[in-house]
Amino acid sequence: MNWLKSLVAGKRSPRAAVRRIPRSEHPISRSQFTQGTLRTLYGLKDAGYEAYVVGGGVRDLLAGEAPKDFDIATNAHPDQIRAVFRSCRLVGRRFMIAHVRWGQEVVEVTTFRGAITDEHERDDTGRILADNEYGTLETDAFRRDFTINALYYDISDYSIVDHVGGLEDMQRRIVRLIGDPETRYREDPVRMLRAIRIANKLRFTIDKKTAAPIPSLAGLLREIPPARLFDEVIKLLQSREAVANLEGLHTHGLLKHLLPMTDAALADERDAAFIRQALTNTAERIAGEQSTSPAFLYAALLWPGVAREYRRLTEREGQHANVAIVQASEKVLAQALHHVMIPKRFSLPMREIWTLQPRFDARQGGRAKRLLAHPRFRAAYDFLLLRASVGEVPQGLADWWTRAQTADQLPPVPSADDEEVSTDAPRKKRRRRRGGRGRRAGAPAGAPPDGE
């Protein structure tokens, strides 16, 4: 970011609130935008409106990262946007967004938002309810969350407009909320999650004052509709920065409000290793442009809770494995659903991945063959590999199932002694954990361990 150094150093007059960086002094070129973005920008401009690229697209290009998409802001009102583009659809209830379609590509266009005033209807935690006022570029800039998200690329002269000191923060590599942090989090608690995600994506630091109120306000996440939280959790954990994001959520006290059982599991060394390994695999698959599934991810995040309950039911209550795993799965899923919504299309496969795990123990004849033919075998087998990689089941068991898939006949089952070495560590762990559970007698299910 050398271009920024010369730009920021000494040039800014303290009174100048708004700053315009001409094309010659910043690195963003039109050729970096998508075709649909350019057509939308020019469509608006040619119809006499202002049009800017703003948000993550500008931020990521300035940071040298590949943007996910480009959002457009304009002074045209939604009905005016629709009059410009035949392929425009208006969506959204709280604040209308225009979707302009160019073949496969859909470009999001929003009208500048007006300033937040005391007139705005809020709920009793400070969250803004009704929000339909339109405004100018300046009011729009102050409504955005972080300074680095409020930089506007102007299609009329290719300059960048900065009202909030976003360019300095780009250079300092800081994620900073615009305005008073506590007020901004109360307006929309999801900003706490966005701070962590954006900081990790760019390897920036969260400004001290922006980070400070998070632990005490983390409970506000409970006010957010579960469907929105589900999307945000997926954005955080089904990403290349999944491991760092999980750490961030945990250390800022957010994870216990999203996935309390996952948060509690991090206190156990092997459970934490299991969750990290699952996130590392996900991140590697994303980096390799392989598909990943939210069902597998959630199955892994909640597995330590399922496994614990399964052990309790089988070891303490003497339940049959197949019954115990179903009950443990139902219980953990029901608890998780208090905090985040998990759509049925994901919770059904999750349950199958879990309930198939004890069936890997049966390695003979018909039962093994039926398991191999199960439609969810592949995901459940990948899950078994994950468990083996942290020593939860013997590697020999996983290897056997690897061979079983390609062999004409089921491979011979090694004697228990051959697999003894790799089961040693988990057994020790189990004994220790049982003691821990005793100490926590009376704690509600899913509660974080003492001292958290």
Return residues touching Mg ion (CB under 5 A). 56, 69
One of 145, 154, 207, 263 is an active-site residue; which one? 145
Between residue 98 and residue 137, which ones bind ligand ATP under the rule CB under 6 A?
none
> Please, which residue, 81 or 275, has the CB nearer to ligand ATP?
81
Partner in contact with 105, chosen from Mg ion, ligand ATP, none, beta carbon below 5 to 8 Å by kind: none
Q: Is residue 450 annotated as part of the catalytic site, yes or no?
A: no
Place of tokens 């056997």: 400
> Please, which residue, 198 or 300, has the CB nearer to Mg ion?
198
In single-letter form, the type of residue at position 195 comes to A
| Least spacing, CB of residue 255 vs Mg ion, in Å | 24
162 near ligand ATP, rule: CB under 6 A: no
Binding mask 184-203 for ligand ATP (x = CB under 6 A): ----x-xx------------
CB atoms within 10 A of CB 33: 22
> Please, which residue, 265 or 340, has the CB nearer to ligand ATP?
340
Q: Tell me the C-alpha distance between 422 and 155, whole Å.
A: 62
Q: Is residue 46 annotated as part of the catalytic site, yes or no?
A: no
Burial letters for 321-350: b for 16+ Cβ neighbours within 10 Å, e otherwise? Answer: beebbbbbbebbbebbeebbbbeeebbebb
Q: Which of 43, 56, 213, 349 forms a contact with ligand ATP (CB under 6 A)?
A: 56
Place of tokens 């996983």: 398
Instruction: Calculate the CA 449 to chain-centre distance.
Output: 24
Partner in contact with 309, chosen from Mg ion, ligand ATP, none, beta carbon below 5 to 8 Å by kind: none
Residues in contact with ligand ATP, total (CB under 6 A)? Answer: 12
Is the four-CA dihedral 411, 413, 414, 419 of positive or negative sign? positive
Q: Which residues pair with 113 in a beta bridge?
A: 134
Query: How many DSSP H helices and E strands does the chain contain?
Result: 22, 10
Q: Which of 55, 294, 391, 394 forms a contact with ligand ATP (CB under 6 A)?
A: 55
> Please, which residue, 56 or 260, has the CB nearer to Mg ion?
56
Q: How many CA atoms lie within 13 A of 224 on its CB side?
A: 27
> Please, which residue, 108 or 392, has the CB nearer to Mg ion?
108
Q: Tell me the C-alpha distance between 166 and 430, whole Å.
A: 51
Partner in contact with 188, chosen from Mg ion, ligand ATP, none, beta carbon below 5 to 8 Å by kind: ligand ATP
Q: Which run of H or of E encompasses 51?
A: strand 51-54
Q: Is 57 exposed, middle or buried (0-12, 13-18, 19+ CB in 10 A)?
A: buried
One of 71, 140, 207, 268 is an active-site residue; which one? 71
Q: Tell me the C-alpha distance between 146 and 215, whole Å.
A: 19
144 near ligand ATP, rule: CB under 6 A: yes
Q: Is residue 69 annotated as part of the catalytic site, yes or no?
A: yes
Q: Tell me the C-alpha distance between 55 and 62, whole Å.
A: 11
Between residue 61 and residue 80, which ones bind ligand ATP under the rule CB under 6 A?
68-69, 71
Q: Taking contact as CB under 6 A, which single stretch among the options 141-149, 340-348, 384-392, 420-428 is the one that binds ligand ATP? A: 141-149
268 near ligand ATP, rule: CB under 6 A: no
Distances (CA, A) of 251 to 48, 263, 381: 49, 10, 32
Strand 88-91 and strand 174-175: the pairing is unpaired
> Please, which residue, 63 or 410, has the CB nearer to ligand ATP?
63
| Least spacing, CB of residue 196 vs ligand ATP, in Å | 12
94 near ligand ATP, rule: CB under 6 A: no
Instruction: Assign 441 to helix, strand or coil.
Output: coil
Residue number of the CB closest to ligand ATP reads 56
149 near ligand ATP, rule: CB under 6 A: yes
Instruction: Calculate the CA 162 to chain-centre distance.
Output: 28
| Least spacing, CB of residue 53 vs Mg ion, in Å | 10
> Please, which residue, 56 or 248, has the CB nearer to ligand ATP?
56
**What are the catalytic residues?**
69, 71, 145
Binding site for ligand ATP (CB under 6 A): 55-56, 68-69, 71, 144-145, 149-150, 188, 190-191
